[in-house]
Structure 1
Amino acid sequence: MFGLGKKRSRLGKWLDSNDLTQGWLSSESKLNKATISRLCASDDNTPNLKTMQKILNAVRKVDPDAKQEDFWSI
């Protein structure tokens, strides 16, 4: 069950809208669950470029048209 009153970032909202879990993103991107959780909780958190690339590679397996600007303003 998604959206239980938690504050979500654009990345977190994207996961929710595609019925994907943070665990899925963690395993696909090979990133720590705590990192994914932090990035899904608030738009104030911006990953470094290497982390961003790993996340985008995983996201593009579901949405090939996803862009960095969809999740983070740089």
Structure 2
Amino acid sequence: MFGLGKRRSPYGEFLDEHRIKQEDIVKVTGLNRDTVSDVCSDPDYKPRKSTITLLLMAVRELTGKKVSKQDFWT
């Protein structure tokens, strides 16, 4: 159920490529489900700096990859 024709942001595409569910990000970060959904689906969504920090920490923990803010947001 990953990337089924949904509109995705770079962050959402990364999750799809690594088969990470949004719910996993919610559990790791403690962020609201709607916030995570917005971050994953809207390429124009600009999360707060504190939210970005949590989102990056979550993908680092779940994938073991070194990612940075520039990988997802300009």
Asked if these proteins are the same fold (TM beyond 0.5), I'd say: yes
Partner residue in 1 for 2:72: 71
Q: Tell me, which stretches of 5 or more residues in structure 1 are unaligned?
A: none
User: TM-score by structure 2 length?
Assistant: 0.92
TM-score (norm 1): 0.92
1:25-64 equivalences in 2 (<5 Å): 25-61=25-61, 62-64=63-65
Q: Which runs of 4+ in 1 moved over 6 A?
A: none
Instruction: Give the alignment's Cα RMSD to 1 decimal.
Output: 0.9
Q: Tell me, which stretches of 5 or more residues in structure 2 are unaligned?
A: none
Which has the larger share of helix?
2
Q: Deviations over 1:46-73 (max 9, x none)?
A: 1000111111111111133101101111
